[in-house]
A and B are shown apart, each in its own frame.
Chain A
Amino acid sequence: MADAVIADMLSRAQFVIEATVRSPGHSTVADIPVNDHTVVFRVDRVLHSPAALARSAGLDVTVQLAAGSPVPAVGEQVTLFTAPVAYGDGIAVAEVGRAAPGTAAVSSTMEAGSGARRSRPRPALGVAQQLDDEQLRAHAAQADVVVIGRIVHLEKAGSPALREHDPDWWLATLAVDHRVKGPVAGTVQFAFPNSTDVRWAYVPKPKAGDAGLWLLHAAAGDAAKLADYSLLDADDVQRPDELDRLGLSGGGE
């Protein structure tokens, strides 16, 4: 199966498994609709999953197969690309794609568990890594300024934040060591939300001396009153050696 097909299925799936049919027409999760396309599979191997379900090999999972798709026979193994439906005593997912076992090559060992409180999807399929990289490159391409540099100054901006979901804007000044993209030289200032509120907690909070590859975006709304650029995405700070991965190594000075 072509990587493009795998990538398309993966873009719509959050849980990819190699699994063996155990019981068609049944469910391991109470109170969900069951029909002849509801099938209990035994998970043989987890190929792609957030940390919380990465250790589900050996467990049963209920899969609502795509309408009109063939129902594999008991004992048959398939690779399933699925999206979440319900979690209870078991897990119920909906099929968004299917492949023969071994079609989707595994590129790395799944990492999950104890250190994964802030889990994000961890690509284990080679094509998943490619998809992740493509998304990151697309995000980087949208940045208005890309520099390697370090934080030399921080200051609070604006009035006290008296709303639960207020961003609590701060201003950071970067000393630019290497300009990759954008009309900046010497230093560049950007606004970032320093709030620990649930809405902003996952946006990076620069600290004095932090060095990295910074993806800055033209500020909008209230942030535009404070600075030309803002940092609002968890992917806006990368390691300096990620230039190649972000497709940015060709330019700059």
Chain B
Amino acid sequence: MILLEDVYFAYDGLYTALQGVSLQIDDGERIAIMGSNGAGKTTLVKHLNGLLRPDRGRVILDGVDTKHYSVAELAIQIGLVMQNPDHQLFLDSVEKEIIFSLENLGSSKEEAKERCEQTLNSLGLEGLSERSPFTLSGGERKRVALASVLATEPRVLSLDEPTIGQDARQKEKLAKMLRGLNEKGKAVIVVTHDIEFVIENFPRTVAMANGRIVADGPTNSVLSNNDVLSRCSLTRPQLTETARSLHSIFPEVPERLTLMDDLEKVVVKVLGGG
């Protein structure tokens, strides 16, 4: 559905951010993009909706090169929620914020109002529609920004660091919401450092370093690969640490476990057997 074909990009022609990146994203996928700061994650995601255009290579949406579309046109299909919600909130009510996005992308007033209500409900923001976003808490503002993009029902939703500053419960709710979107056939792409969040919710991980894709595949295998982890400056997930520690004492325990259920089974076996 979206294809990045050997994309090269340098900021100001000087600072190379992407070096030959190729990636395919299909409808309904859930992908996490991980890597150290400066690896090119956000740069990559900004190529999806045209905020940045490749210096070399192409970005192809449904068979058409995105260079034929403006950012606003692409925004209809590809939503991007940036890291800091305060970078986009400027109206005096939550409702107006969401309607603003909808009207920009072509909705009529009635349609906009209805979709706005639906979206607010789905994110637990009902009752806040008249409030000024500036009076809301940080977490609430993040959800309003998310709502304003969700309301436009893009085919692909990309989020840049959605879990920063969120507590465990908020992350769970976010994960649930993203899965729900996925079930409706939307693709969800997340740029994040939160390795636990990725392991629990994203089947596919793209690991980047120095503007290149180092690994692209099932999360469990990508994020338990030591070589990938060190090249992309990622810290080992907690459960993998546990698995490694267990493995050094009980060689029958696989080193590369990432899921709680799997680890539990293995430990029970070790204990039951002992």
A and B associate: no
- Which residues of A come within 8 Å of B, CB atoms? none
